[in-house]
Chain A
Amino acid sequence: MSCRKRCKREIFKFAQYLFRLVTGTLSTDSVEDELELSTVRHRPEGLEQLEARTRFSRKELQILYRGFKNECPSGVVNEDTFKDIYAQFFPQGDASTYAHFLFNAFDTDHNGSVSFVDFVMGLSILLRGTVQEKLNWAFNLYDINKDGYITKEEMLDIMKAIYDMMGKCTYPVLKEETPRQHVEVFFQKMDKNKDGVVTIDEFIDCCQNDENIMRSMHLFENVL
């Protein structure tokens, strides 16, 4: 709202107040007539379209939507709610940083909120996608600034976020250099040409050669 308009409104309100003072009304609390930004109501596209775009069945989409709508009746989840929800699963540590990165990974159009469509598209990749797609998604998560390269700083941020979720009471005791060392291990493994960054091809190549990682990709297949 421009300054002039604001000034006018304030003057009007003051005049109203004086008028009320003189004539005397019994209303003690002034009713704020300001229209606050009404909460955005978002409706997802139809069930058939979602079925076509994702790999979930109709019933699964129904279950997912019911859970989603229960927690976020307005149809979109913003970052704070997202952090709250995610933090409930990790009571011992601080999950907010990792939740922030996750939120950015889910919010594909970067509009600050995750709608049901974003949510379910992300889940479709994670749960029903090919290994290639999953690795792509993980790369996207690690690449904080989305420039196609994972630098050591980005990886360090992610690693610290993960270690934050563990909290304080761990065995063995978490030392300050633990995340850094972990990042070193990761880079030694992934960075084939030793140029200090990990590209998507290096990443996917390396992961496909690692049995552990391959197996863990299939861990959550039957989550839904």
Chain B
Amino acid sequence: MENSESARHSMAAGVAAWLPFARAAAIGWMPVANLPMPIAPTEKNKRQDELIILNVSGRRFQTWRNTLDRYPDTLLGSSEKEFFYNEETKEYFFDRDPDVFRSVLNFYRTGKLHYPRYECISSYDEELAFFGIVPEIIGDCCYEEYKDRKRENAERLMDDQEDNKDAKLPNMTFRETMWRAFENPHTSTMALVFYYVTGFFIAVSVITNVVETVPCGSVPNQKEVPCGERYTVAFFCMDTACVMIFTVEYLMRLFAAPSRYRFMRSVMSIIDVVAILPYYIGLVMTDNEDVSGAFVTLRVFRVFRIFKFSRHSQGLRILGYTLKSCASELGFLLFSLTMAIIIFATVMFYAEKGSSSSKFTSIPASFWYTIVTMTTLGYGDMVPKTIAGKIFGSICSLSGVLVIALPVPVIVSNFSRIYHQNQRADKRRAQKVQKARLARIRISKTGSSSAFLHSKRNGLFNEALELTSSTEEEQRLSKSTSLLESQHHHLLHCLEKTTNHEFVDEQYYQQSYLEGGLQNYPSRSPSLSSQDGMTGTCCTRRSKKHHTPLPNASAPAHMQPLTHTHTHQQGLQELSTIHIQPLSTSRSSLNMRVDDPAPLNCQSSQITTAIISIPTPPVTTPEGDAHLPAGPAHQNVVKVSAL
């Protein structure tokens, strides 16, 4: 609600100053209007524009009162600031941060809210909340920075919260205790023991794998055998023990995990599975000759047990995370290398094609040469023999230096800079920002149009009340809209009168469109202002049409059913009469004395007014009933307000 409130008045501050111009230009409609214009809202006790002093913790700011009145739903723009008025010094005193107040005051002056980079995000948010300003209004120039800082702050808060999770909650189930023990080993001694035991066994397993292949001692008159084959049983027992420990650990983690499915998908659990699976597959498989080759390769996967150390080492985890986040940059580097390799391999192949006994038998065979040359390894197993080959080979090695051996930070930093630039550009173009911005625009559009529809009712009340000349209700009503708003609405009202059509909201429009099956008025190519309007957000307020049967009031009640009388006068006017539901007995048929303010709010929509505009000003309308049916007969209009 707050959002739409402030967005409703988000006609930019400078534009509000052009309202007199827009109203003056409305004189252009007058000669073509068929209907008389509504009365302009008067400015009661129009004040001369004066300077007001805002004292914020000792620093005095001065501005025009009108500047602050531009945003009536903020603290400074509304009467809320009177709470801070200091009688002795005749100024408004705020005990807040004067630095942030600068931005706040500039918002009133320019209509744009800026976020200063040196300011702490949470203090800025607090000040905005104090002064009743919605942060969404921050201008595009500073909005990204604001959002980034806010996100950082939120992440930091979340991290802090996670650190505090060590506090043991009472009544944790056994499962939860176990999970906490696994995740944070230092919470209990059992967990710590478990942590070290698993670590030890990981190390043992890795060392076993390594030692297995070392040739250890030779049986005389036989060549050297690796230890694995010599002490098969011992190694097998060790392997079994490790795998059993790992399996038990995995099953326990699986049991304790709060979300088993998510746990099974996580990287660490996949590593665990990959580490123990070869053993079981080996158990299952027999010493079949065919599959023993595959079996051997499976044992390679045992080395993945070393990755289990990442649970024990924070540094490994950070490294993995860094690699993951730089993946696209590395990928690009790899891609450019691949391009260079392919180019040079092709060139070398064709250059060396002529020479006999050339090792460059095919382009893929030349890949090896190119890689070795470009990384300046230079094994020498493949060398070009032709002159052309040598020339290109030297170019290849030089370019290898360029591509690889240059100080890598230059490339990395360059990529990082471009990457961040693109990221920022993408963020700007990204759906979220666009959507948020469009949503903001849409809200302000619908806000102002729905504000108009909303206050039409109030406006009618105003006019009706002027008849009864009761000032209290008038004051009560006029409080709700600011002068700026009422003037703007009067302008829109004049336009309605000029064209003899009314602004309605979307639902009502759809209804009448379907009912009438009328040919729609083709609008021209819309500008941005109406583009959102076209997309169905032109009017969002739901209309509540009440066709309540009229109760019998004791008053000289003037009940009329809701009718649509179509009297076509040159096909221009469609008139509808509306029903009046008086609330109390009164002399005048149009007396709208309201006893309680309840009917004034949105919810109640039972009261509609009929205002019959006759050539003379509406003061003559309290003549009663007779005019209502007579209305259609005249040239003039019965004004409808459908709620």
Which of A's residues lie within 8 Å of B, judged by CB?
Answer: 59, 63-64, 66-68, 70-71, 83, 85-97, 101-102, 105, 119, 122-123, 126-127, 134-135, 137-138, 141-142, 155, 158-160, 162-178, 181-182, 184-186, 203, 207, 211-213, 215-217, 219-220, 222-224
Pair A91/B529 contact, Cβ less than 8 Å: yes
Pair A126/B24 contact, Cβ less than 8 Å: yes
Pair B503/A216 contact, Cβ less than 8 Å: no
Stretch at the interface among B213-221, B269-277, B378-386, B570-578: B570-578
Pair B527/A163 contact, Cβ less than 8 Å: no
Q: Determine which of A91, A96, A178 lies in contact with B449 in the assembled complex, contact meaning CB atoms within 8 Å.
A: A91
B593 touches A (CB below 8 Å): no
Pair B527/A83 contact, Cβ less than 8 Å: yes
Pair B501/A170 contact, Cβ less than 8 Å: yes
The minimal Cβ–Cβ distance linking B274 to chain A, given in whole angstroms, is 45
Q: A67-B17, A168-B533, A223-B23 are in contact. Are A176 and B521 (CB under 8 A)?
A: yes
Across the interface, name the chain B residue whose C-beta is closest to A206.
Answer: B31
B351 touches A (CB below 8 Å): no
Pair B529/A68 contact, Cβ less than 8 Å: no
Report the Cα distance A162→B446, complex, angstroms. 20
Report the Cα distance A207→B502, complex, angstroms. 25
Report the Cα distance A196→B216, complex, angstroms. 117
Pair B36/A212 contact, Cβ less than 8 Å: yes
Across the interface, name the chain B residue whose C-beta is closest to A106.
Answer: B25
B residues within 8 A CB of A169?
503-506, 508-509, 533, 538-539
Report the Cα distance A212→B32, complex, angstroms. 11
Pair B40/A219 contact, Cβ less than 8 Å: yes
Q: Determine which of A63, A171, A216 lies in contact with B36 in the assembled complex, contact meaning CB atoms within 8 Å.
A: A216
Report the Cα distance A138→B498, complex, angstroms. 14
Produce 1/0 per residue, B40-76, CB < 8 A to A. 1011000011000000000000000000000000000
Q: Determine which of A63, A105, A165, A177 lies in contact with B495 in the assembled complex, contact meaning CB atoms within 8 Å.
A: A165
Q: List 22 A-B contacts (CB under 8 A).
A: A67-B18, A68-B17, A68-B18, A86-B25, A87-B527, A89-B488, A93-B523, A94-B526, A137-B28, A165-B495, A166-B501, A168-B520, A169-B538, A171-B503, A172-B516, A172-B574, A173-B512, A175-B518, A175-B521, A176-B519, A212-B37, A213-B31
B residues within 8 A CB of A186?
31-32
B residues within 8 A CB of A66?
17
Pair B501/A94 contact, Cβ less than 8 Å: no
B residues within 8 A CB of A126?
24-25, 27
B14 touches A (CB below 8 Å): yes
B residues within 8 A CB of A182?
32, 34, 499, 572
B residues within 8 A CB of A223?
20, 23-24
Across the interface, name the chain A residue whose C-beta is closest to B507.
Answer: A169
Pair B499/A162 contact, Cβ less than 8 Å: yes
Report the Cα distance A123→B520, complex, angstroms. 36
Pair A134/B27 contact, Cβ less than 8 Å: yes
Chain B, interface size category, equals 35 or more
Report the Cα distance A167→B495, complex, angstroms. 11
A residues within 8 A CB of B24?
122-123, 126-127, 220, 223
Which of B's residues lie within 8 Å of A, judged by CB?
Answer: 11-37, 40, 42-43, 48-49, 109-110, 444-446, 448-449, 488, 491-492, 494-496, 498-499, 501-506, 508-509, 512-513, 516, 518-524, 526-530, 533-534, 538-539, 570-572, 574, 615, 640, 642
Of A87, A141, A181, A220, most buried by chain B (CB within 10 Å of CB) is: A220
Of A142, A163, A177, most buried by chain B (CB within 10 Å of CB) is: A163
Pair B27/A217 contact, Cβ less than 8 Å: yes
A residues within 8 A CB of B522?
176
Report the Cα distance A155→B31, complex, angstroms. 11
Count how many pairs of residues, one from A and one from B, have CB atoms less than 8 Å apart in the complex.
234
Pair B31/A91 contact, Cβ less than 8 Å: no
Pair B538/A135 contact, Cβ less than 8 Å: no
Pair B538/A219 contact, Cβ less than 8 Å: no
Report the Cα distance A174→B500, complex, angstroms. 10
The minimal Cβ–Cβ distance linking A106 to chain B, given in whole angstroms, is 8
B residues within 8 A CB of A105?
28
Pair A164/B32 contact, Cβ less than 8 Å: no
Pair A171/B501 contact, Cβ less than 8 Å: yes
Q: Determine which of B21, B488, B494 lies in contact with A119 in the assembled complex, contact meaning CB atoms within 8 Å.
A: B21
**A94-B530, A105-B28 known; 9 other A-B pairs, CB under 8 Å?**
A66-B17, A71-B18, A89-B492, A97-B524, A155-B32, A169-B538, A207-B31, A220-B24, A222-B40
Pair A162/B11 contact, Cβ less than 8 Å: no
Across the interface, name the chain A residue whose C-beta is closest to B43.
Answer: A222
Across the interface, name the chain A residue whose C-beta is closest to B25.
Answer: A102
The 4 closest A-B pairs by CB, nearest first: A67-B17, A174-B521, A71-B14, A87-B529
B residues within 8 A CB of A164?
523-524
B residues within 8 A CB of A134?
27
The minimal Cβ–Cβ distance linking A83 to chain B, given in whole angstroms, is 7
Pair A212/B529 contact, Cβ less than 8 Å: no
Report the Cα distance A59→B615, complex, angstroms. 37
Pair B15/A71 contact, Cβ less than 8 Å: yes
The minimal Cβ–Cβ distance linking A177 to chain B, given in whole angstroms, is 8
Pair B33/A167 contact, Cβ less than 8 Å: no
Report the Cα distance A212→B616, complex, angstroms. 9
B residues within 8 A CB of A165?
495
Report the Cα distance A126→B20, complex, angstroms. 11
The minimal Cβ–Cβ distance linking B418 to chain A, given in whole angstroms, is 10
Report the Cα distance A219→B445, complex, angstroms. 27
Pair B530/A167 contact, Cβ less than 8 Å: yes
Pair A181/B25 contact, Cβ less than 8 Å: no
Q: Determine which of A89, A96, A158, A184 lies in contact with B491 in the assembled complex, contact meaning CB atoms within 8 Å.
A: A89
The minimal Cβ–Cβ distance linking A218 to chain B, given in whole angstroms, is 10
Q: Determine which of B30, B491, B503, B516 lies in contact with A213 in the assembled complex, contact meaning CB atoms within 8 Å.
A: B30
Of B518, B520, B521, most buried by chain A (CB within 10 Å of CB) is: B521
Report the Cα distance A163→B31, complex, angstroms. 15
Across the interface, name the chain A residue whose C-beta is closest to B528.
Answer: A87
Across the interface, name the chain A residue whose C-beta is closest to B37.
Answer: A216
Pair B508/A181 contact, Cβ less than 8 Å: no
Across the interface, name the chain A residue whose C-beta is closest to B543.
Answer: A171
Report the Cα distance A127→B25, complex, angstroms. 9
